A and B are shown apart, each in its own frame.
Chain A
Amino acid sequence: MRRDPLARKGLPARLPQAWRQPLAVSGVVIAAAWLVIAVAAPWLAPHDPLAQDLPRLAPPGPEHWFGTDQLGRDVLSRVMHGARVSIPLTMALVAMSLLIGGLLGACAGYFGRWVDETIMRLADLVFAFPTVILAMVVAAALGASLTNAVLAVLVVAWPAYARVTRGLVLGVREREFVLSGRLLGFSAWRSLRVDVLPNVTGPILVLATLDIGTALLLLSGLSFLGLGAKPPSPEWGAMVSSGVEVFDSWWVATFPGLAILTVVLAFNFLGDTLRDALDPRTARAIKERAL
């Protein structure tokens, strides 16, 4: 008897084993901590992130844990407020590229022929350029602002989703229950929505979680290059960039850099865990190792 590994009950039953791995736990803890910080920054932060009334370039100490920057702003408060800028934008970015790429890829895989050709050649076109450079070109053309940086990353991020979704849909489309759905008189759209998409969401969600790290890196990269966040706003990439100017005061660039590092790492751990949990082969391997 054949069983669909991703179907129904599999998820809750296999999840605990994979989620009990040390990497998974640390991923969850770090990501959760950052989410709390992002939500509660106005209450948690000791200083106003924009106020320039502290001593300039004070090293980390009991007064200012992360020190202050060249304009006399508290780095800790800025890093905390930075989470409010970077994390929601990254999530929105990934959600949008998932939606756009997923939808286009699903159409390409399901309808085939010229739809497939058009969408996938468009995706190839984007793939043909180095990601960062293309994002830079788009951001520069649109003008430097955070919104434009998000749009620029969106332009380079959707083809990955389109490709993965298309491949998965191609596989599911040939399955008999999809055919039998069509034979029961349902429209192609309903068949795509009800019969095909639920069967491909697992791997795509894994990709999205892993992609949060990449997207954050790219977004802060654009800000670092001056194509994203405008100066006063506490964005991690922009903070690293301004910290590089005063390299002797290592704390100005290091702490926002560490923030980026931990968030990217946490979401990569989460993505790996999700993949392990959803893939029956690795799930089994983990179980065997645990025994």
Chain B
Amino acid sequence: MTLAITDLKVTIGGKDVLRGVDLTLEAGRVHGLAGESGSGKTMTGLAVLGLLPHGSRVTGSVALEGRELLTLPAKELNEVRGGQVAMVFQDPATSLHPMLTVGRQLTEHMRHHLRVGKAEARERAVELLRKVRIPGPEEACRRYPHQFSGGMRQRIAIAVALACSPKVLIADEPTTALDVTVQAGVLRLLRGLCDELGLAVLLVTHDLGVMSAVADEVSVMKDGLVVETGPRSRVLREPDHPYTRTLLASLPDAEVS
């Protein structure tokens, strides 16, 4: 068990956003988190890394290999962020710094967390870009994010997230902003990296098609609660909870494999 979230509750300005979420992520497994907008999927991701909006209250427990993250002092939390838990966002157009080269964005936190030299960090950056299949990685390092297409940018964002070899990757709707063919590529990449590097991936998505393609386990959230958790095939084929059934039935062609 790499990351264990137990009874996570978040209140923002008197409103209950999460009402007791339990999730467990394991190394080498992709855990899908589904649910409608506003059900607390993204909040779960942000709460794990302690980056909630001002004025929010968090209770419960988030343990990374037995280490409690919620009560960690800011300095140690900064070590965990990026170093052990990384996050990929929905829109790669906005999640990369527009004024820094790809190479700089890839190497800066690497040098910060791993304390490696400039040359070594650069080498690793090229290696990473190759791993996420960016053509011409050496040259790509010198370019800026706007010079890449959406799918390429998301690959770069994934490379940035993976640079310090984290144990947990939280992917918050990583394919929603991409078109379908690019989606498949990015998902295959995520799955491959998960198997290859033994990452624990939390894949947040509202797209059950995406879910069925890559997730090992599936959890369904509604109104800040996890209503159903189980292996993908069981949850998608024989859903227990009525809400999961509604969700499945609301798919345009109502068929999931």
Whether the pair A182, B81 counts as a contact (CB closer than 8 A) is yes
Question: A residues within 8 A CB of B89?
Answer: 176, 179-180
Q: Mark B94-111, 1 if CB is under 8 A from A, else 0.
A: 111111100000001100
- Which residue of A113, A183, A186, A199 has the most chain B CB atoms within 10 A of its CB atom? A183
**B87 CB within 8 Å of chain A:** yes
Question: B residues within 8 A CB of A176?
Answer: 89-91, 94-95
User: How many Å from the CB of A251 to the closest CB on chain B?
Assistant: 52
Whether the pair A184, B97 counts as a contact (CB closer than 8 A) is no
CB-CB under 8 A for A2 and B97, given A184-B86, A185-B80:
no
Q: How far is the CA of A195 from the CA of B98 in the complex (A)?
A: 9
Question: B residues within 8 A CB of A7?
Answer: 98-99, 146
**A181 CB within 8 Å of chain B:** yes
Q: How far is the CA of A112 from the CA of B54 in the complex (A)?
A: 9
Q: Mark A178-207, 1 if CB is under 8 A from B, else 0.
A: 011111111100000011001100000000
Question: Mostly helix, strand, loop or mixed at chain B's interface?
Answer: mixed
- Which residue of A4, A185, A195 has the most chain B CB atoms within 10 A of its CB atom? A185
Q: How far is the CA of A224 from the CA of B21 in the complex (A)?
A: 70
**A8 CB within 8 Å of chain B:** yes
Q: How far is the CA of A75 from the CA of B95 in the complex (A)?
A: 60
Question: B residues within 8 A CB of A2?
Answer: 93-94
Question: B residues within 8 A CB of A199?
Answer: 98-99
The residue from A1, A3, A175, A183 contacting B51, defined by CB atoms under 8 A apart: A183
A-B contacts, 5 listed (Cβ < 8 Å): A175-B94, A176-B94, A182-B81, A185-B112, A186-B78
> Which A positions have Cβ atoms within 8 angstroms of B?
1-4, 7-8, 112-113, 175-177, 179-187, 194-195, 198-199
A sample of 20 more A-B contacts (CB under 8 A), given A186-B109, A195-B97, is A2-B93, A7-B98, A8-B98, A175-B94, A176-B91, A177-B97, A177-B98, A179-B89, A179-B95, A180-B160, A181-B97, A183-B87, A184-B109, A185-B81, A185-B113, A186-B82, A194-B108, A198-B99, A199-B98, A199-B99
Q: Which 7 A-B pairs have the closest CB atoms?
A: A185-B82, A184-B82, A185-B81, A176-B94, A176-B95, A7-B98, A184-B109
